[in-house]
Amino acid sequence: MIKETNVLLVTALFIGLAFHGSSIFFTLESTYDALIHLFFAEHYATSWFEPWDYRWYTGFTVQGYPPLVHQLIGLLSFVGGLKFGLFSAGLLAILLFVTGAYRFGLLMTGDKKVAGYTAILAVFSSTFIETLHIFGQLPSILALSVLMHSLTEIYLWLKLGRRRYLFTSLSLIAVMVTSHHVTPIFGMVFFIFPLIGMAVMDVSRDKVDSYRDLHFKVFWMSFRQLFWRIVSFGLLSLVLIVTCILPYWINSKKNPITQVPIPHGSRDNFLEVTSSGLVFFMIPWGILLFVIPYIFYRFYSKRYLFFGLSMTMLTVLGTGGTTPIPLMLLGETAFNILTLDRFTLWATIMALPIFGEFAYRMVEGDIKQGIQRRIGSVYHRLLGGFLAGGILFMVVFTMSLGYFRPSQPQKINMLPIVNFLNQDQHDHWRYLPLGFGDQMAWLSAQTKAMTVDGNYHSARRLPELTTRAIERLENSKFRGVEGIGSLQQFLTIPEKYNLKYIFSNDKFYDPLLYFCGWQRLQQLENGIMVWEKLNVPPLPAILPKDDVPKWSKIMWGVIPITTVLIAFFINIQLLWFRVLRPRKMPLAEYFRYKVPYAKFPGSVIVVSHIWALVVLLCLGFGLYTFYLNNASRRSPENVITAYYNALDFKEFETAHSFLDKENEVPIAQYMLEVSVTDGILSSYAKLDALSIEITDRTPTGAKAVVQTHWITPLERIDRTYLHDLVKREGDWFIMPSYLDTDIPPDQLFSDTATRFYNHGRRRITTQQTHHEDVLKQPLLEVLSAKLVRYKGQYAVIGELQNVDNLPADVVIKATLYNDDNKELANYDAKYHMKHKLMPMETTSFKINFEGIAWSKTKDTIPPTFDPDEFTPIELEEQPTRFNLQCAGNIANTDLYKGLGLQSLTIEGDHVSGELYNSGIQEVTIPLLLVSYYDEDRQLVWVDHTFVQEGVRVQRKQDFEYAFLKVSGLELIDNSLKNCFVNGLPNSSIAGKVVPNRITDHVGEQLQPIEGDGFGFIKFELNSYVGNPR
């Protein structure tokens, strides 16, 4: 017998490697996961046997993820670098996947041609494209491919009982286990159990004449016959699953995942969240959606019965939150930990052989004949064209998804950042990237410097992170208030984490950084802004780590690669012997169960057509509702929603098209007016929710009260807008509102100011900074400090002055103690102070004691996030005294003091006024710090408000503020005894620097007012300048 080359398989491999192999160079790096694997690979490449990595999450163990793929990439990186390793592993995955699909098809159908079709369809399957090119899940693909390869061997062992097949199957199982942990476990359930069923079924079939005679009794007898083979295989593979990655299991036991569930699109209701439906259902299923009746028809034939059951389970589980069934089947915990898209992946992979069979029968088999006979050959061609077109459409659509809706920010050139971290001992502190997307892993892979963030959330240890459902700090804005809240904790007390540098690729976070006391250091040549925080100690030389025994490290470093070598030897080597010394081989066992493809039942064709029609109708209906919701001028509500969406995405031209044509502002004018408004709302806010109330509706007009909720980096902002709407020729439009026509008096004017420059080190040296270049710390004086309780919250408030002749950056840390001097809590001042003080400038401050959100109430995490992200700390005992540590460091940036306060009108419980910008910098976000004083002009409380619009140069901006009721406030301790400045007692500085302090000055500048619990008010201004000149 001459062995024929399977042309279809070769074609599939050829196309697969050419198509996927060349496109991974453009897709893989911008996928979600690929760079994480690259980071792990880099870890193994530099320290193969040491599982501890300090670079993420203040240290984590890589034993939290099976190492094989990472180690492979790491090994290959010695040849041509990390990326070479990554792409080589990608090519290997493609190769294994296509051949695996072929062998799986061959096993299932026993027909080489059908298997060839399967391989070709596997190349073009949208689920594979998505997993590889959009998700970048290399380990998952590799493990799945190996699983498909192993199925044949397992089948042969079960069927024939030859020990050789037991070894080959076990060797492949071992490779699978060491490359991905979830695949073998669920693979057992969803692939191998049905395979066992099929093997038993085949043995039973041999005993009877036809499937018709195959009854349960026969099946049961065959099962008992094969029982020991099944059990031996099952037990041995269980042993392998446990031992091959034993350190992984031990680590999971020791460090159980305490992470609260992180929302994942695959758990959404796909009908509600259509984007998730698209990514996690429509794309993976792709064209398979149309042939579902055929797939189930075939899977529910007797031989495939168990696969049918498994397929049904997988399909249902893959629907996520659309139906309640997955939640019921998996239980709450598993449902929230697993990403359910993998079930859809497995379902679509399992369907491949049957789809291949369908394609074969459609192209050259009995379906073709059936259709030609019933309807005609032209229709058959049309239908074939439709299916082929559908496949092609899905391929192009899926591949282009990353192009039109990039999941990642633009590719960042990491070299300037790596250089920055390497120079001048910057890697002695931790850093934090913001707005890097998954590219943060690539940055981490290139530097020894450490970050508090990371990209493998199962490995987290800091409770600040595990208690929050955020993916990364880096993209916390996408998790709304909760994400921002978590980030704020890190930014407010960075010294706890030795966090000194922030690389910001997203200006959204800039105001937050500024108001938390960070300052801009420099812009790198790749456009990344470096922010730094003063007064952060460097990392200690010795960092803690969770060590594991030596045997565990050796197992982890040796076993995975060994499994590959063994598997290679057993499978490929023996195959080579067979090929090189060709003997006439008997046809493999499974060829015997080939089904003759004849007489395709007409009823299935009819059902398939009806089904396809239903699918098409659903798609059409979906598109129609999509259109209706987006027909923006149909109703007042629609036009307002569309207008605000356009504003949110800065599509000003679209926004302008919703304005009334008759009172129209020319587009050029509109663009000009919009472009000059700056501020927290127009530059740093994301529209979170919108509620529209239509009042005074008449046939031709309406008034709308629009409640908008914006997520900003600083806080959640609620704002109400009023709009007049008009209906013209059936369409609704918004009447343009009046814009401020105020113009400043001068076109050109001058301003003088003192500017400061800090050399840093004057002497260029690799040594520690010379003591002559260590700047003196500016002297500060605490004027008052007290511990108060207001509405159940403890806070330390007070006033502080920079009494030095140099501008100061001020950090204030308060610690609470009880009567026994037991430390209860400590925290830093966040927004409630001016962090940068000019000489003799004073600031009020307030330190809130923030706890780690929801750490105590893990099971009652609010389903929707509370607008007030503040979580007061839970104190075990009553604090009765406090300690205040203030540190000054010389500041030379962000010293803009050009804002003034004018036209103040106090009416009842609220005040309105205007901020006037007298300098030459545009203030992007003004902060109004409001201090409350009692009748004796003693400070009682400090509050703040962000003015939502910026103040342009020589212009004014109005603001309003409603006073609080502070009568219920309780003063617990009022003492300057434990206040320290730069480590020295405050009293020693106070007596020395301003010995004859005139204490009345503060009181004289206060605004008298009759309030609830207060008699005076002080306003202070802090201005964030977004683009300093």
Partner 1 sequence: MGRYLQLLVLFFLFSCGKEGRKVAEAQEKIAFRGIDIPHKMVAGDSLALKFEVDGGSDLVLLLEKSFGPSLIKPTFVGDLAVFSLPPEMLAQSGMYHWQLRASSQLLLRGHFEVLPNIETTASIETYFGPRGIRAGGGDFSMLFMVPLDAYDNPLPDGTLLRVHQLMDKGLKTISVTTKNGYAFQNLYSSDKAGRMLVNAAVHNVRSKELTSVVSPSNSVDFSIAYQRVHDFADGNQVVLFKTSPLRDRYGNQVADGTLVNFSIVDQRGARLKTQGTTLAGVATGRILHPTEASEWKVTAYVTGESKSNTMDLDFKTAVGDFKVAFSQGHRRAEIGPILGFMGQLVPDGLLITLHIRDANGKLIDTKTTHTYKGKASFDLPKRFYPGANYQLIFDTADIKKEFQVALTDNGLE
CB of 892 to partner 1, least distance (A): 10
Q: Based on the shown chain and the rule CB under 8 A, indicate whether residue 952 belongs to the binding site for partner 1.
A: no
Contact 827, 849 (CB under 8 A): yes
CB of 842 to partner 1, least distance (A): 5
Q: Based on the shown chain and the rule CB under 8 A, indicate whether residue 91 belongs to the binding site for partner 1.
A: no
Q: Based on the shown chain and the rule CB under 8 A, indicate whether residue 935 belongs to the binding site for partner 1.
A: no
Determine how β-strand 430-434 pairs with β-strand 499-504.
Answer: parallel
CA dihedral of residues 788, 789, 793, 795 (deg, nearest 10): 0
Name the segment binding partner 1 (CB under 8 A); options: 3-11, 849-857, 963-971, 992-1000: 992-1000
Q: Is the CB of 572 or the CB of 998 nearer to partner 1?
A: 998
Strands (E) across 371-418 are located at none
Q: Based on the shown chain and the rule CB under 8 A, indicate whether residue 1008 belongs to the binding site for partner 1.
A: yes
Q: Is the CB of 598 or the CB of 743 nearer to partner 1?
A: 743
Q: Is the CB of 180 or the CB of 955 nearer to partner 1?
A: 955
End-to-end Cα, the chain, rounded Å: 83
Q: Based on the shown chain and the rule CB under 8 A, indicate whether residue 985 belongs to the binding site for partner 1.
A: no
Q: Based on the shown chain and the rule CB under 8 A, indicate whether residue 753 belongs to the binding site for partner 1.
A: yes
Binding partner 1 by CB under 8 A: which of 217, 550, 1001, 1029?
A: 1001
Binding partner 1 by CB under 8 A: which of 209, 729, 742, 859?
A: 742
CB of 913 to partner 1, least distance (A): 8
CB of 173 to partner 1, least distance (A): 45
Identify the three-state secondary structure at position 470: coil
Name the segment binding partner 1 (CB under 8 A); options: 608-616, 745-753, 760-768, 825-833: 745-753
Q: Based on the shown chain and the rule CB under 8 A, indicate whether residue 378 belongs to the binding site for partner 1.
A: no
Cα separation, 485 vs 713, whole angstroms = 9
CB of 993 to partner 1, least distance (A): 7
Q: Based on the shown chain and the rule CB under 8 A, indicate whether residue 743 belongs to the binding site for partner 1.
A: yes
Cα separation, 664 vs 662, whole angstroms = 5
CB of 834 to partner 1, least distance (A): 11
Q: Based on the shown chain and the rule CB under 8 A, indicate whether residue 519 belongs to the binding site for partner 1.
A: no
Q: Based on the shown chain and the rule CB under 8 A, indicate whether residue 377 belongs to the binding site for partner 1.
A: no
User: What tokens appear for 249 in the block?
Assistant: 């299991």
Contact 320, 326 (CB under 8 A): yes
Q: Based on the shown chain and the rule CB under 8 A, indicate whether residue 937 belongs to the binding site for partner 1.
A: no
Name the segment binding partner 1 (CB under 8 A); options: 254-262, 511-519, 835-843, 939-947: 835-843
Q: Is the CB of 208 or the CB of 984 nearer to partner 1?
A: 984
Q: Based on the shown chain and the rule CB under 8 A, indicate whether residue 1004 belongs to the binding site for partner 1.
A: yes
CB of 1009 to partner 1, least distance (A): 9
Residue 989, judged by CB atoms within 10 A of its CB (0-12, 13-18, 19+), counts as buried
Per the document, the length of the chain is 1029
How far, in Å, are 500, 993, 1022 from residue 837 at the CA level? 20, 17, 10
Please give the residues from 625 up to 664 whose contact with partner 1 meets the rule CB under 8 A: none
Strand (E) or helix (H) holding 347: helix 341-364
Residue 431: strand pairing partners: 451, 501
For Cα atoms 103, 233, 69, give the angle at the middle one, nearest 5 degrees: 60
> Comparing C-alpha atoms, which of 734, 571, 768, 765 is closest to residue 655?
734
Cα separation, 606 vs 709, whole angstroms = 52
Binding partner 1 by CB under 8 A: which of 419, 522, 903, 988?
A: 903
Q: What is the DSSP letter of 213?
A: G
Identify the three-state secondary structure at position 1012: coil
Cα separation, 78 vs 89, whole angstroms = 14
Q: Based on the shown chain and the rule CB under 8 A, indicate whether residue 145 belongs to the binding site for partner 1.
A: no
Q: Based on the shown chain and the rule CB under 8 A, indicate whether residue 916 belongs to the binding site for partner 1.
A: yes
Q: Based on the shown chain and the rule CB under 8 A, indicate whether residue 776 belongs to the binding site for partner 1.
A: yes
Cα separation, 1024 vs 834, whole angstroms = 11
Name the segment binding partner 1 (CB under 8 A); options: 395-403, 418-426, 492-500, 743-751: 743-751
Binding partner 1 by CB under 8 A: which of 322, 954, 957, 1022?
A: 954
Q: Based on the shown chain and the rule CB under 8 A, indicate whether residue 747 belongs to the binding site for partner 1.
A: no
Binding partner 1 by CB under 8 A: which of 21, 261, 622, 900?
A: 900
Contact 720, 704 (CB under 8 A): no
CB of 459 to partner 1, least distance (A): 44
CB of 925 to partner 1, least distance (A): 18
Cα separation, 536 vs 73, whole angstroms = 37
Q: Based on the shown chain and the rule CB under 8 A, indicate whether residue 772 belongs to the binding site for partner 1.
A: yes
Q: Based on the shown chain and the rule CB under 8 A, indicate whether residue 769 belongs to the binding site for partner 1.
A: no
Residues in contact with 764: Cβ distance below 8 Å, sequence separation at least 6, in sequence order: none
CB of 987 to partner 1, least distance (A): 15
Name the segment binding partner 1 (CB under 8 A); options: 217-225, 256-264, 454-462, 692-700: 692-700
Cα separation, 522 vs 456, whole angstroms = 30
Determine how β-strand 686-695 pairs with β-strand 430-434.
Answer: unpaired
Beta-carbon count within 10 A of 643 CB: 21
CB of 788 to partner 1, least distance (A): 23
Distance of CA 887 to the CA centre of its chain: 36
User: With CB under 8 A, what is the number of residues at the site for partner 1?
Assistant: 66
Q: Is the CB of 206 or the CB of 740 nearer to partner 1?
A: 740
Contact 502, 678 (CB under 8 A): no
Q: Based on the shown chain and the rule CB under 8 A, indicate whether residue 746 belongs to the binding site for partner 1.
A: yes
Q: Is the CB of 880 or the CB of 892 nearer to partner 1?
A: 892
Cα separation, 532 vs 519, whole angstroms = 5
Q: What is the DSSP letter of 57?
A: T
Q: Is the CB of 771 or the CB of 1029 nearer to partner 1?
A: 771
Q: Which amino acid is at 11?
A: T
CB of 790 to partner 1, least distance (A): 24
Dihedral sign, CA of 912, 918, 923, 927?
Answer: negative
Applying CB under 8 A, which residues contact partner 1? 696, 698, 700-703, 724, 726, 738, 740-746, 752-754, 756, 771-772, 775-776, 783, 801, 803-807, 837-842, 895, 897, 900-906, 913, 916, 918, 954, 956, 992-994, 996-999, 1001-1002, 1004-1008, 1019
